[in-house]
Amino acid sequence: MTDETDPAQDEVLATLFAGYHQFRETVWPERRKLFQALARDGQKPRALVISCSDSRVDPAMVFGAGPGELFIVRNVANLVPPYKPDGDYHGTSAALEFAVRVLQVPHIIVLGHAMCGGVHALLNGFPDAAKDFVAPWMQIARQARARALACDPVDPQTACEQETVKLSLDNLMTFPWVAERVAEGSLRLHGGTFDIRSGLLALLAGDGTFRPA
């Protein structure tokens, strides 16, 4: 152990704390009543967004949403696993259950994105540093990989990113309480991809293609 600190890490922390102080000085006074109302009345988000953990994709920023508007679940490659209540640890499924059954969200949006690292590894192989958890997790999307490559796409990365969104939507319907609410019309499922290079959002249409929003 040493008392020496890494100047680069100190700079990162200083930047984060400076951001917090700016929040307290500018954002908090403007949003105080909103936060207090959310604390008093609880949350009633307009939608559940299942997005990638990628730091370049912020669903709240993409949709221009404020506090309390979106219930956001982020994981590697915005994947929804199949319904499997086996007593194991299922973070995404737990969040899905809470949003759908407790908060009664009316919409679920699966949001993929361009240049997804998880999809790239699925297509090209996983680095040794990402084999304990990332590689097994991405096996959820092996069917998406097969579907994308079956049509010999010009851009396999984009094709696979889109197929992971479709696969996650399919897997959502394996949850009985999701399927029930979809059938009764109280819950709607949506798919989309966000291109971090252009800032454009494309939505999944009924014919299986992605079209600019």
Whether the CB-CB separation of 116 and 52 falls below 8 Å is answered with: yes
Active-site option among 113, 145, 160, 181: 113
Q: At what angle do helices 142-150 and 117-124 cross, to 10 degrees?
A: 70
Whether 32 is catalytic is: no
Active-site option among 21, 32, 56, 145: 56
Active-site option among 41, 90, 116, 181: 116
d(CA 110, CA 73): 10
Active-site option among 54, 74, 145, 181: 54
Whether 160 is catalytic is: no
Q: Kindly state the DSSP code that residue 83 receives in the 8-state scheme.
A: P
Q: How many CB atoms lie within 10 A of CB 31?
A: 15
Active-site option among 10, 24, 40, 52: 52
d(CA 96, CA 100): 6
Whether 107 is catalytic is: no
Give the residue numbers marked as catalytic. 52, 54, 56, 113, 116
